[in-house]
Amino acid sequence: MRRTQAEIYLENFRNNINQIKKQLKPGVKTCVAVKANAYGHGAVRISRECKELGVDFLAVAAVSEAEELRNNGVDLPILALSICSPAEIPELVKNKTIPLVCDAEFITLLDHILDSYTPEELENYHENKGRFTVHLAVDTGMGRIGCFPENALELAKLISGSKHLVLGGMCTHFAVSDSTQEFDREYTDRQFERFNFAVDSVKNAGINPGIRHCCASAALVDHPQWQMDMVRPGIIAYGYYADQINREYLASKGIEFNLKPVMALVSAVCAVRPFDKGMSVSYGHTWTAQKDTEIAVITAGYGDGLLRRFAPFIKASINSKEYTISGRICMDQCMIEIGKNNPDVKRWDKVVLFGPEESGALCDAQYLADKTGTISYEILTGITSRVPRVYL
């Protein structure tokens, strides 16, 4: 197996799911986001863990992600959070996946395509026998997908009057619920009010809105009164807080919520090379030895997700000692100055680039995100498919 690996600490994942469950009101379902290969952690194995932990639903983005789970024996209900194309509908049906719908054109098309299926083939959620369950997405201010709240009733009626569909749920997504700024909080309040308006308009017309869900990682903790019937944790399941809704902020509100990062990116020293004063390393010669020294070559690069912009900030740990990257990160390697005759660094020694404390890491994905102006999500999902996931 390749020396560069993503070590997945399953006990930390279990801790995070249990922390989430402690925040939930009785009867609230959990729908864990396993899209983008479970935020880089390996969708199949993480989904199996979810089932063991009593998670109720899984959420994917692409129909192909649902297909991978079904092909590997995952039988939890799966919700597809992106609008699928007409060409994907046969796979949607085959893989018992619940789609989002948000306009009359797509609802009508979907119902028409389902004419060719038997009731048994259509059943994609056990509570709706012989019908194809959909969730109605409502755009309350994200501006991405969803109907406007004032159109929700019209579409709910269209679903209820269709031949094959049943309204299994209604959902929305908050745009700035991960912010503690007052104007953002007011915006989120208005989003919730608009979602309630949409749900109430459907209920008051005598139509069951099904499972109501609006809270992702930030809101489920920060606004527990909004948990409704189901929550959709994403980044917090993998051990990172949702931007400003962090441990310190939650503690200030009297909420104990202790997450543990799940992934460590590790590699190895493949060579130790003597460098004379004045020698340069890597592309562009951005680093030159200021004295006689040695360079350790590490078998990880931006082709693995260790992006070039990380170079000044990585706190690489070799035998518990900190080293920085010298020069530019390459596609498949990076280099570290280790000093002359360093007894603590040998060929094939393990290098921990980021991860939880128990991995020996000296920084995590949030640290790198803060230093490089991005978010932990991007770093985790950016670990590429050639990096084996190893479960501990």
As annotated, the active-site residues are: 35, 283
Query: Encoding tokens for residue 238?
Result: 């993998």
Looking at the DSSP bridge assignments, the partners of residue 171 are 137, 213
- Angle at CA of residue 378, ends 372 and 381, nearest 5°: 140
Q: 3-class SS at 176? A: coil
Residue found under tokens 């199949």: 44
Over the range 341-380, which residues count as b (16 or more CB within 10 Å of their CB) and which as e? ebeebeeeeebbbbbbeebbbbbbbbbbbeebeebbbebb
The three-class DSSP label of residue 9 is coil
Residues with Cβ within 8 Å of residue 157, at least 6 apart in sequence: 205, 207
| 182 CA to centre of own chain | 26
Cα-based distances in Å from 163 to 13, 69, 101, 110, 126:
42, 29, 16, 10, 18
